Structure 1
């Protein structure tokens, strides 16, 4: 099944979020703007002083020393103000970036598990790494630099107009050019960078699949096929990046031309105005210097415009995670009783291709039900529905007496107090063994932890040992024991064990199941297993074939019926 990419936020959502960011810290933002404005205004005094100096030199009454000292003083003041302005910008940027990261983590943690699995690893990893880094560059550098450029450009244009409207007009010659090229560039850049980021997700997804399935690739001789997949992903990324490169090769040369023209036009037109007595030499000199000063902020503005487009595309991908609809709609009803029942349940991973076909299953509180059947029959899918991980396409899975409450209408934290799932896939978080366990029940004491470790026959490191990435490596069997210990510590009433002891050798698995049976006495247990001794010990056995429960009864009843289960039992015993 191909990965289903997570959604991307619309342009309107990105703009609305950006506006909220702007007004979220009004005092800090006002301080930043004030400092940059003061630094810009201080820097604008020098051209006026130089313009006056040129005219005084012509008239033979220049006081060079005094003017030089004044210029030096203003330059020093501008340097001090600029330093503190950039410091305030950086501090505000880091604050905003920290909030963005925290909100992204919250959105990711709120994603339905089934949607995360359909999206694939590459998409989410790329958003959490490359997109976050790209947005970090925009927030740390592009946004402050753009803000500075806007303030400086605004102040410079104001000073230019105050110098004289006639000498200011030539500086506007580039406005139509820059407006036209920017209007052409922006809509194309947004879509182009979204495609570029998506292509990186595809590369990451393909590489992750290849690395995680390296043994399967080698065993089945799939190296050439995976190599071809990688080449295709890289070629797609190359096309996407070449498109955005073409946009930049149009934007930047035209923008550079737009920077030079105002200086030339102001100097030429200003000279003509001076010759005709329509402007003073001081006005022409100051206007030309102001036009030259505009080059800096305009160049900064357009240079960072490209980075802002890339950051905007990354922000759209990060915000898009929040557009995934919830997989449950709590209605406030509380289940009374722990009876779990599936009624006419159907489920499909792809539209129109059901893998479960009208399953009915009524679990008796406190019973141990074994679910057996051939691979691909739908056992794990049914287990996920019984645990509330996924919701059925049609039909219901209800918890409680007298009809109960659908699992998809229970808040996730409440649901896990009733039903929990443990599969053969486990994750060991970086931290101490105690930290890995108490996440299931934060208030658990060491005595509680020791009890559950004893229940799973723990033979690994002590509670204070750091495990996970960078710590002591646990064997697959120990990771499985750790997952089962978390489950026992969480203490739900109903447990769904999907091959939960598959990584243990048969004897160890048998001992563990007997230990767990004592700890879990009185709880409802659904055990999905290929080892039929689990079925032999269960209160009832459900045989799942082709997405249907074809047989249901005790071990002895199904052996006597001489159906599919009896055939499996004889095959397992070599009969």
Structure 2
């Protein structure tokens, strides 16, 4: 896919794709088939554990029949000893089987989660940049962050419980039919009530949980958009508007949580009615069969105990079904990402030639779909090879749009961007990323070791090369202070990195990527004043020897560039060095005076 076709069509959905429940189930089954021995061992140990849990109930029936038969004291003692030994053996073997089953289910689930996480991250990294901009970073990050965490929790808690409980239900049901087919049918009489409860619950619950996950993604997007533009929000006194938006999305999440809780309570009531129906039928049918001599008292006693034995696993299923449904909703969102149209290549190659390239922008005009007013109009700029240019201007002037187009994100309606002699629109996204790296203020720390996070930019980099990159951006002191250095876990479940450290990590990835042209879109905006000064030094070090474009949030950063361009309403209205623009007394000079007075 070329950069000229990178923009998502207007008809593309506003959020990433979500798979159907059937599609997600097919993905899980296909994964289990890929690990046949582990899957088979999991099933065997789970079935064995369930059978050993049911065995004591049948042994109790043997005791009852022995007492009814009037066995002598010696026979009764022998029967009790035999039953006691069998109970002890069943308890020991059942404990071992249950432990093995839990371990194997955990291993199978961890393997599934690892493949799912790897596939989802691979798919997100392969998404066209225009598609990511269209759906919003909140939806993307909630998939590879929140949804992975929800599925991970479900695999650790809900999945083992559900699978073990379902197998126990099947074994106990088979046992009732083994006593007498009529007792089995009596127990099965509860199935229509269960089926009606599930038929009422399942079609309504999956969309409800999906809506809850989407609402959480919208809330995340509201937070991200507000925090990322905090200075602009403050400058234009937009705090009440953003607070209202975050509050609205938070109330939406809360209301959906209450709706889910009430809905699940109604489901539990329907399940309790099904249990009552089944237990009454078994007791009545067992009494009739006992009166006619069709079953023994022991068998008639075992049947309701077996059915009652189902209450705990069925209760476990019900009380973990809430977590399972959440995991299922997140699973469909993750599997849906796997079905998104992605780039075949994630890594491109830089054309042979010199180590740095000039950037030339000629007659660039860009209008967003559905808008009649262009964001950029006939923009002309040149950045010499190895030089730097800072873009400044008010919010809405077109700085971020221009930076994105130079990085190959989106297609202009007129004009061109060339890196060296190469039109950026003639490259696919992999080659465009190899030629131009873009870094925004929306830095993300991926779950895993620090080394794995850095190697996203350079998979073949050695530990020494990773440390060199960290040293370049000033991150070496705090990295060496970590418990395990490069092997320290970071991100979700690991070491928490503050805004300055996360930005340094992103800059280190920029260094490792070795793209000859770099675009930095307000990459130091989220740090405090001390952190910003530190990051500005890191930015200069990371960009040394490369052609650089800065979307300057702070005018102190603009000062460090070779030249400065002032954008207003999508047009370049001033261009020159810091000293030249201050001396000219124009728009930049006024911005500079206001900046110094505010400081």
Q: Which residue of 1 aligns with 2:116?
A: 103
Deviation at 1:226, TM superposition (A): 5.1
1:177 paired with 2:197, answer no
2: CA distance between counterparts of 1:432 and 1:148?
Answer: 33
Q: Deviations over 1:368-422 (max 9, x none)?
A: 474656433323321222123x2226568666777656365142xx544422345
Alignment of 1:152-301 (within 5 A): 152-206=168-222, 225=241, 228-301=244-317
> Partner of 2:400 in structure 1?
380
2:100 is the alignment partner of 1:88: yes
For residues 41 and 214 of structure 1, do their structure 2 counterparts lie closer, same or farther at Cα, with a shift above 3 Å needed? Answer: same
Paired with 1:18 and 1:24, the residues of 2 have a C-alpha distance of: 10
Aligned pairs for 1:378-457 within 5 A: 378-388=398-408, 390-392=409-411, 394=413, 404=423, 406=425, 408-411=427-430, 414-421=431-438, 442-443=461-462, 449=468, 453=472
State the match for 1:314 in structure 2: 330
Shift of 1:525: 4.6
- Asked if the contact 1:192/1:244 (under 8 Å) is kept, the reply is yes
Contact 2:451-2:466 at 8 Å conserved across structures? no
CA deviation digits over 1:500-545, x for unaligned, max 9? 899999xx99x989x989953xx6454556689979955xx86654
> Larger deviation: 376-385 or 250-259?
376-385
Task: Identify the residue that residue 65 of structure 2 maps to in structure 1.
Answer: 55
- Measure how far apart 1:90 and its partner are: 2.8
| Other structure's SS at 1:420 match | strand
Any conservation in 2 of the 1:202–1:233 contact (CA below 8 Å)? yes
Change (3 A) 1:214 1:40: same
Verify the 8 A CA contact 1:150 1:297 in the aligned structure 2: yes
Aligned to 1:42: 52
Cα drift, residue 174 of structure 1: 0.9
Partner residue in 1 for 2:10: none
The TM-score with structure 2 as length reference comes to: 0.72
How far off is 1:212 after superposition? 6.6
User: Could you say which residue in structure 1 is the equivalent of 2:86?
Assistant: 74
Preserved CA contact (<8 Å) 1:101 1:132? no
**Structure 1 contact 344–394 (Cα < 8 Å) conserved:** no
Map Cα deviations across residues 206-262 of structure 1 (whole Å, 9 max, x no partner).
456666777777777666555544543343223312322332232212211222332
Which structure has the bigger radius of gyration? 1
Shift of 1:38: 2.4
- The 8 Å contact of residues 327 and 408 in structure 1, kept in 2 or not, is answered as no
Once residues 408 and 153 of structure 1 are traced to their aligned partners in structure 2, the CA distance between those partners, rounded to angstroms, is 58
Q: Which runs of 5+ in 1 are unaligned?
A: 560-564
**Offset of 1:154 from its aligned partner?**
2.0
CA distance in 1, matches of 2:106, 2:36: 15
Larger deviation, residues 67-76 vs 98-107:
98-107
- Per-residue CA shift, 1:447-486, capped at 9, x if unaligned? 9949995xx9x7995984559999999997x998997787
| Closer/same/farther in 2, CA of residues 265 and 136 from structure 1, 3 Å limit | same
Q: How does 1:513-528 map to 2 (within 5 A)?
A: 520=545, 524-526=547-549
The 1-side partners of 2:364 and 2:334 are apart by: 34
Corresponding residue number in structure 1 for 2:371:
352
Q: Deviations over 1:539-568 (max 9, x none)?
A: xx866543356789x88xx99xxxxx9955
The alignment partner of 1:406 has SS state of helix
Q: 1:8 and 1:345, CA in 2 relative to 1: closer, same or farther beyond 3 A?
A: farther
CA contact (8 A) 1:398 1:407 kept: no
Contact 2:567 2:573 in 1 (8 A): yes
- Once the two structures are TM-superposed, the CA of residue 281 in structure 1 deviates from its matched residue by 3.3
Report if aligned partners of 1:385, 1:397 keep a CA contact under 8 Å in 2. Answer: no
- Check the 8 A contact 1:369/1:542 in 2, yes or no: no
Compute the RMSD of aligned alpha carbons.
5.2
Q: Give, in whole Å, the separation in 1 of the partners of 2:516 and 2:211.
A: 47
The separation in 1 between residues aligned to 2:412 and 2:436, in whole angstroms, is 20
TM-score by length of 1: 0.74
SS for the counterpart of 2:515 is: coil
| 1:149 equivalenced with 2:160 (yes/no) | no
Provide closer, same or farther for how the CA distance between residues 348 and 182 of structure 1 changes in structure 2, counting only shifts above 3 A. Answer: farther
Q: Note closer, same or farther for the CA distance 1:283–1:14 as it changes in structure 2 (3 Å cut).
A: same
Cα distance in structure 2, aligned partners of 1:572 and 1:398? 28
| Contact 1:43–1:75 (CA under 8 A) maintained in structure 2 | no
Out of 441-450 and 221-230, give the one that drifted further.
441-450
Give, in whole Å, the separation in 2 of the partners of 1:139 and 1:567: 62
CA distance in 2, matches of 1:39, 1:543: 72
1:18-75 superposed Cα distances (whole Å, 9 cap, x missing partner)? 2234324322222222223223333444444433443343332363223322332332
Contact 2:384 2:547 in 1 (8 A): yes
Matched, 1:22 2:20: no
| Equivalent in the alignment of 2:4 | none
Deviation at 1:171, TM superposition (A): 1.4
